[in-house]
Amino acid sequence: MTSFPTMDRLQALDERHLIFCDRLEDPLALEQGSFHFSAKDNLCSRDFQTRSGSRILNGYRPPFDATPIKRLREMGGLLLGKTNMDEFGFGSFSTNSGYGVPRNPFDTQRCCGGSSGGAAAAAALIPEHLALGVSTGGSISCPASFCGVVGLTPTYGRVSRWGLIDYGNSLDKVGLLTRTAHDLERYLPAISGPDPKDPTSLVQPPLDLRGDVGTIGVPAEARAGLSPEVAATFDEALKELSRNGVKVREVRMPSLRFSIPAYYVLATSEASTNLARYCGMRYGEMNEEFDQGFNDFFTDARSEHFGPEAKRRILLGTYSRMVGFRDRYYVKALQVRQLIIDEYRRTFEDCDAVLTPTMPFVAPRFDEIGRMSTLEMYQADFLTSPPNLAGMPHLSVPCGYSGGMPVGMQLVAPQWNEGRLISFARFWEGSFHYRFPEVTA
Site residues (vs ligand GLN, CB under 6 A): 89-92, 115, 135-139, 167, 267, 381
Contact 407, 400 (CB under 8 A): yes
Shortest Cβ 267–ligand GLN spacing (Å): 5
Q: 299 or 379, CB closer to ligand GLN?
A: 379
d(CA 253, CA 220): 7
239 in catalytic set: no
Shortest Cβ 54–ligand GLN spacing (Å): 13
Number of Cβ within a 10 Å radius of residue 185? 15
Shortest Cβ 200–ligand GLN spacing (Å): 17
Which among 255, 306, 256, 252 has a CA at the least distance from the CA of 277?
A: 306
Spot the catalytic one: 38, 45, 94, 115: 115
Q: Which residues of 108-140 are buried (b: 16+ CB within 10 A; e: fewer)?
A: eebbbbbbbbbbbbbbbbbebbbbbbbbbbbbb
Q: 154 or 419, CB closer to ligand GLN?
A: 154
Shortest Cβ 337–ligand GLN spacing (Å): 15
Distance of CA 149 to the CA centre of its chain: 12
The percent of the chain in helix, strand and coil, each rounded to the nearest 5, is 40, 15, 40
**Strand 77-83, strand 394-402: pairing:** unpaired
d(CA 441, CA 287): 41
Spot the catalytic one: 38, 92, 94, 139: 139
40 in catalytic set: yes
Q: 166 or 221, CB closer to ligand GLN?
A: 166
Q: 45 or 259, CB closer to ligand GLN?
A: 259
Q: 44 or 213, CB closer to ligand GLN?
A: 44
Shortest Cβ 412–ligand GLN spacing (Å): 15
Instruction: Assign residue 398 a region (left: φ > 0; alpha: ψ between -120 and 50; beta: otherwise).
Output: beta
d(CA 89, CA 69): 18
d(CA 283, CA 290): 16
Q: 142 or 253, CB closer to ligand GLN?
A: 142
Shortest Cβ 12–ligand GLN spacing (Å): 29
d(CA 149, CA 398): 6
Shortest Cβ 326–ligand GLN spacing (Å): 20
139 in catalytic set: yes
Spot the catalytic one: 40, 70, 82, 173: 40
HEC states along 42-66? CECCCCCCCCCCCHHHCCCCCCCCC
Q: 139 or 233, CB closer to ligand GLN?
A: 139
Number of Cβ within a 10 Å radius of residue 407? 28
Distance of CA 366 to the CA centre of its chain: 20
Helix ranges (DSSP H) in 50-140:
67-74, 117-125
Q: What residues are annotated to the active site?
A: 40, 115, 139
